[in-house]
Structure 1
Amino acid sequence: MGSNVSSVHDVHSSVGTKSAMIVEIESRRQWRSLFDSMKGSNKLLVIDFTAAWCGPCKAMEPRVKEIASKYSDVVFARVDVDKLMDVAETYKAITLPAFVLVKRGEEIDRVVGAKPVELVNKIEKLSA
């Protein structure tokens, strides 16, 4: 049981710092750069479409950080739909939160809504 306590603490300490586990996409150029780099990789990309006004998105944020910390081989990118509407439109991210799972530049699955268990199940299945 002691190991659980330290692992939970480690998650919080790594989440507290601005880590590279979740890439905050701030510009179209940054998005394009990440997307292009992922096309040549077999790594799973999880795009977290969110918005400042979205209550369920805010509720999912700590869960997404926790999930990202467990899957170091998966790249997580957070996209604010109000800042990058064209990216959201490309993936038809209308209902938020929306998690689009991409491999080699192609969407392979998605989770719509605040469903952390479903998200973890799909990451488990697709990152293997």
Structure 2
Amino acid sequence: MGSNVSSVHDVHSSMEITSNGFVVEIESRRQWKSLFDSMKGSNKLLVIDFTAVWCGPCKAMEPRVREIASKYSEAVFARVDVDRLMDVAGTYRAITLPAFVFVKRGEEIDRVVGAKPDELVKKIEQHRV
């Protein structure tokens, strides 16, 4: 975990630490671009959690996402508020929330739409290596 945290932490000032993993709170376009660019050359799984403050199912999933992130520290979890970063949400067609988009080497490889923690774990298991 150490190298993952330090490299992402150096780029991102706002990070939510969990026991073994983390969820990066993306608060600006610059922050998103830094994370995305750093992940493009990596085979590491990026799980983008598209959310909104007004989204009840998103709020319900938040503790589960943190728990899942702690179990899969080999993946990078990023939370993006669709109202704050509409262009990023638009790029990934994050219309129904919550939406979890799986990215490797800069390309979307899968997604889970809705508050479906079991499906989220299944997809992470499938794509983490």
Structure 1 and Structure 2 fold alike (TM over 0.5): yes
Q: Secondary structure at the match of 1:18?
A: strand
Q: Secondary structure at the match of 1:64?
A: helix
1:63 corresponds to which residue? 64
What is the identity percentage for the equivalent residue pairs of Structure 1 and Structure 2? 81
Please list the CA deviations of residues 12-57 of structure 1 after superposition, one character each: whole Å capped at 9, or x if unmatched. Answer: xxxxx93171000000000000000000111000000000000000
Q: Secondary structure at the match of 1:118?
A: helix
2:16 corresponds to which residue? 18
**C-alpha separation in 1, matches of 2:59 and 2:128:** 25
- Where do residues 81-100 of structure 1 align in structure 2 (5 Å cutoff)? 81-100=82-101
Q: Is 1:37 matched up with 2:38?
A: yes
Q: Is 1:103 matched up with 2:104?
A: yes
Q: Secondary structure at the match of 1:86?
A: helix
Which sections of structure 1, spanning at least 5 residues, go unmatched? 1-16
Which of the two has higher C-alpha Rg? 1
TM-score by length of 2: 0.85
Q: Given residue 34 of structure 1, which amino acid in structure 2 is its aligned partner?
A: L
**C-alpha separation in 2, matches of 1:116 and 1:18:** 19
- Count of aligned pairs: 112
Which sections of structure 2, spanning at least 5 residues, go unmatched? 1-14
Question: Which 4+ stretches in 1 moved above 6 angstroms?
Answer: none
**8 Å CA contact 2:16, 2:24 repeated in 1:** no
Q: Is 1:79 matched up with 2:77?
A: no
**C-alpha separation in 2, matches of 1:100 and 1:42:** 15
**C-alpha separation in 2, matches of 1:18 and 1:39:** 22
Q: Which of the two has greater helix per residue?
A: 1
TM-score by length of 1: 0.85
CA RMSD of the aligned region, Å? 1.2
